[in-house]
Amino acid sequence: MSEAASAHHRTDLAHHFESYEQQKQSSLLGMWVFLAQEIMFFAGLFVCYVVYRHMHPAAFAFGSQHLDWRLGALNTGVLILSSFTMVVAVVGAQTGRRKMIVCGLILTLLFGAVFLGVKVVEYGAKWQHHLVPGPHFEWHGDPAAGRAVQMFFAMYFVMTGMHALHMVVGMGIMLVMIPLAWGGRWTRENHNFVEGFGLYWHFVDLVWIFLFPFLYLLGLAGSGVHG
């Protein structure tokens, strides 16, 4: 087969790229640029958290005591497993093994669903105990301390909520990827999309690795604030 004919059959190579390697490097560069702005976004949230925690250490520790660190640890383990299964999917794409890609994506999707299910249970418990910031937030102690505790839960819901939103987006993408993978969309030569998505999923998992100790383990040290 001539070079021209070979190029004609490479329908998954975009016309503005000369080779799969060039297409892959461009795609990964785009993903790293995207992740860089995601890092800046979450870094801003963490800086905000650290500032308020420094201003109200006792109130933040008290708020943390109302989080179930066991559920947080469970979700940490679930996400670590999901990172492993995502690696399976990426390796499957790199080696052209269709079933391996599909199995890795399905398992990652299931672990993601377990994580979000646990978060629903946690959020439901906070609602029942009137710990959601807003007009229904209940505090029967010092009003000044109550405002600081409410700030902790505001940071908790914003940070974990944005993390969960990123997971929902990733799971939606996986629902599209699974049938495409089964149909042989990715090959040894063209697997950059799976690699790029793998980087996104690992980033989401890494964010949680920081959220867990910042939010859940702070209260284990005790608190001097009482409601």
pTM, 2 dp:
0.86
Per-residue pLDDT, 114: 98
Q: Could you report the per-residue pLDDT of 9-64, keeping only the tens digit for each?
A: 455 655 565 565 666 666 677 788 999 999 999 999 999 999 999 999 999 999 99
What are all long-range contacts of 182-187, with beta carbons under 8 Å and residues at least 24 apart? 182/98, 182/102, 184/98, 185/12, 186/93, 186/96, 186/101, 187/12, 187/96
Q: Please give the Cα distance from 227 to 149 (Å, whole number).
A: 10
Please report where in the chains the tokens 């997971």 appear, as a residue. 167
pLDDT band at 4 (very low <50, low <70, confident <90, very high): very low
Q: Does residue 223 have a pLDDT over 60?
A: no
Q: Does residue 170 have a pLDDT over 60?
A: yes
72, 216 in Cβ contact below 8 A?
A: yes
Per-residue pLDDT, 8: 35
Q: Please give the Cα distance from 85 to 199 (Å, whole number).
A: 13
Q: Could you report the per-residue pLDDT of 78-96, keeping only the tens digit for each?
A: 999 999 999 999 999 999 9
Per-residue pLDDT, 6: 41
pLDDT band at 132 (very low <50, low <70, confident <90, very high): very high
Mean pLDDT of the chain: 87
Domains of the chain with bracketed CATH: 38-221 (1.20.120.80)
